[in-house]
Each structure stands twice: as structure tokens, then as C-alpha cells.
Structure 1
Amino acid sequence: MGVIGFMNRDKIQGFLNKDKESNAEGLSTAKPQRTNPTNSNNENSIPNPTPQVDPIEEKYPFPDFKPIEDLVGNWKKIPSSAFPRQVTVKVKAKYIFAGGAGSSTIPPGRKTTALSFSGDQLIIAPSTQSKIRGKILIDDTDYKEILGAEYEKYKNRKRKAVMTQRQRARLIAAEEEKNSGPQSIPSQSVTIATASRLPKTRLTEYENQIGKIPKRGNDGRVEIMVSSLMSGEVSEIKVNEISNWGPIRYELVD
């Protein structure tokens, strides 16, 4: 039994006719013309085609990302995981030394560290290790822009991961379709796509001699192979170096 994988040595990776009618007034001596009612409203008689659904896109959908304002309670309930963040102050701010022993001024344009959020103000400090603290309105910093940019990067990473899953699934499907197609020479291999069409006795024979075909995960990877790589049993390649997993098949070797 073999598992075919293609290696990538370069280490590859959802945000609207109106019909015009004219009415003639007055009398007419002309004989009215007949109309063919079957030809009226032809457009309305054409059914709308049902949009085709890509099964792979249906299996691997893009995440439904909420607006960032929903995640931070319209900037009133920012979670602790959103801190610390380095931000730039837009107005003059002030640090207060411990015990109120003194203070220092932060000029506009200076960077500081946002440690937490209270009311409508950020609690700031020169660094995460510093003992002095200050407060500044969130809108007097670029905190919203910083967090918004990070959220966009996060969404892009998730979309890219889904695209990678889709690409991998299409490659696997194409490979299995090619291997399960008609062949002029009797095939000496049985892929997972053709195994379900084998007589039960024939399939049982393969399974008794070699074992059952390994299972794939939802991402298309061969689970037993991934476990082997992760445990270090195979040291020549790493999991992140594999860009495509080929068909799983039984091989008959003389």
C-alpha cells in the first residue's frame, strides 16, 4: 500500500420592467387586430435556472466573519485578549508615577503600550513591565485602527486556509477520477474511488492481505501518515512541506 504525496520544497501556505401600458381613447372604425395571448409575457414563462453549487466550496465554506464592532461591543467591551497593544497617541497624554509621586508628559505622535480598557479610556504605560500608568481616550489613539488591521490579517489567513483546503480537495478528486477512468491495460492498483465498486469478496481479499485503506481527514490529508510525520517516524519530510495528497490505493507487486 502506498500513499502518494507531492512535496513542495519551498514550504508552501463574505465582507436591487415595469411594463408600460398605453390606453387609446376614442372610437375607431378599424377592425381590431387579433393578438396571440400565448406570446405575451414570454419572459415570465422562462424559469430561473437553479445556480450550481460547487460541492467542494460547500464542504469548505468561508467563515462568517462578524464586524469587529460586534466583537468588541462597539468599543465598550473590549476583551482582555486584545491587550497589550502598542499604539500611538494623537494628543498629549500623561503618565502618573506610583503613589502620585510625580508625572511625565507624552507628546502627540509618541508610541505607548495599551494595557487594558476602562470606561472609555485606555490604561497605558511605557511598556508592559513599567510600574507607571496613564489614561487616554481610545479615540485619542490609533488603537481602533491597529486592532482593525490585525482583524483583517486574521480574516485573510482564515480565507487562505480555506482556499488551500479547496485546492487540495480538487487535486485529490482529479487524481482519483483519472485513476478510476477506463484503462486499456488492466490496472494493477485499486484506489479509494474504485474500492467501493469492487465485489465484496475481492475487497475483503485485499483487506485481509494488506489491511483496510487508511482514512482521510476533513482536510484531505491521510491521518495515519500525518501522525507518523508528527511523531518523527519519518524524518525526511515535514507535514508543512506536503502541498498535495495523491490517491490512496492498493498496489499489487509481483
Structure 2
Amino acid sequence: MKSLFVTLLILGAAFLGYDYFLARPWDRVVFEKGPRPATGPSALPTHTIEDDGPAPGTTPTAPADASVAKTDAPKSDEKKADDWQPTIPKIPTNEFVVPTIPTAEAVTKNWTMIPKQAFPRPVVLKKDVVVKMSVGGSTLRAGATAQAMAAENGTLVIAPTVTSPARGTIPVMDTDFPEQIQKAYAKWKVERIEQLRQAWVNAKTRITEPGKDNSTMSNGQGVGFDAAGKPKQNSDGSYNLLLAVISTGRVTDVDPKKVTHWSLPRQDTIDGKPTWVVDVTYSTSTIFGLMDVPSHAHIRDNQLIRWIYDSGEPVP
């Protein structure tokens, strides 16, 4: 009985020793329990993890320094970047494209080519001008308004008034003439672009053989030619062929009501072929204001071949 008691005493002491010294604080049975530590991320394994490669269906990610990683790789294993792009054809927008309009300086060749129709016109002088006549002369002071009567090679011919016989000269740039033209040019440019836009619209829907329908003519008559192909002229000087071209929108700048002269047809050789030419002078808006402009209609094979200005530029 005594030995059993001793045995139990030894086991009890061992259990108490384990519970106090070896058991985790939160697992103690007899002695006061300690706090359980907060749950954190699992510790990383101490052994090396082998890479089995990317998961099926995924694209492997290149290492941070791809150039270093592939230094020793055979060239045959390197893949060239696929930078090919398809060629996308430009689809026509079928929209009106604003044309390039030459500047006032370009039109006048830096103020050296000014048409005589631009004169006379008042200008403000920026420098004094001496004007002379047979019985003497006088000086027109800077800031005064004088009349520009003509221009030649960048120089204006100046008179005190339109009716005065006195004359003097001054460089164009020493007057407000360029400023006047620039202001008129800005307005003309807007009108010109609209005119060209309207011509573009008309060209898309115009009749290919204008004048075949008599209703297009205000005089109720169709286009006529004689046996030699010369266009027939109306009693007022006009030509039904040209009136038809205007009425169908092929030419928009010429207003029949503003035509000041229709010439008789004259025969000439153009493009190596016999061609009838009709000179037409009409009033139109220009950078110099409203002016009478000469133009020339070329007619061949019973149709209008072209309608141009003296410069060869087509009449819009």
C-alpha cells in the first residue's frame, strides 16, 4: 500500500513539473494559462521548392532581367518580336477638301503686280510725297489721304485728287494700300472657298451635256452651232452653250447679269486643234474689290473644253 502511494506521488510530481516547465502556456492544466499567440501566415518551408513550370494554358512570365537570363541561350531559341501591322487602306471621305488659297503677297508677287483695274483708289500716306505738274509742285504730308492712280513694280503713282494733273510716286509699302488689300482679301477668301465648295457640289450632280434641255435656257432655245462648229450667238451677245454651262453649275463665278462683254467667236489653234474662242468680260469680287475680269471660253466639237482667265487658271 505504501509503495502505491509513493508511485502516485512521483507521477503527480512529474505531471506538475511537465505542466509548469514543458507544456505550452495556453495548454497548461494546473498552473495559470498564458495567452494564445495570434494566427499569422504559415512559415515558409525550409526545403527548396522545385518549379514544375507554368500551369497549363498560361503564358510564362519572363524574368526581371530577360537579357541576362537569355545570354547563354542558343540564338535559334530566340523569337523575334511580332511587330507586323496590317496595311489599312484610306477610305475616301467623299467630302469637300478646302483648297490652298494663295496669299495676297503671292497673288501680287509681293506687291509688284497690281492690275490697273484696282485704281484709282484712296490711300493714306505714311511718308511725305512731292507731287509735280507743269506749273509747279507741292508736298503731300504723311497721314494725308491721296489718290493712287496706278502701280508699277512696287511703286504707286499718287495724285492729290482723281482729277488733279499733279503726280508723284511712293513705294506701295509706304501707304496703307497693303492693309486695305489684306482686309479685302480676308473677306474674298471666305467667299472664294464657298464658291469652290459650291462648284464641287455642282460637279457631282451636273449634267454632262448641258443645254440639251431647252428649259435650261431663259430664252427657251437650246444650244446651237453652225456647220463649222461655231457656237451661235444670241441677239444680246450671249451664247446658249455658255449660259447652259453656267446654269448647270459647271462654272459658278460668272453671273450672266454681270457680263459686260461677249466677243464674237474667233478661231484659234489650241492643243494643236482648231478651237473656237469666246472672250467674256464679267464683273466679280476680287481681293482688290469688284472688278471687270477678262476670261476666255474654249469651244471644240460642240462643247466647252475649258474656261480660263488670262493667267491660264480655270474659271471656277
TM-score class, shorter-chain normalisation, is 0.3 to 0.5
Which structure has more helix as a fraction of its residues? 1
The structure showing larger relative contact order (alpha-carbon pairs under 8 Å, at least 6 residues apart) is 1
Provide TM-score, normalisation by structure 2: 0.39
Kindly name which structure, 1 or 2, has the bigger radius of gyration based on alpha carbons: 2
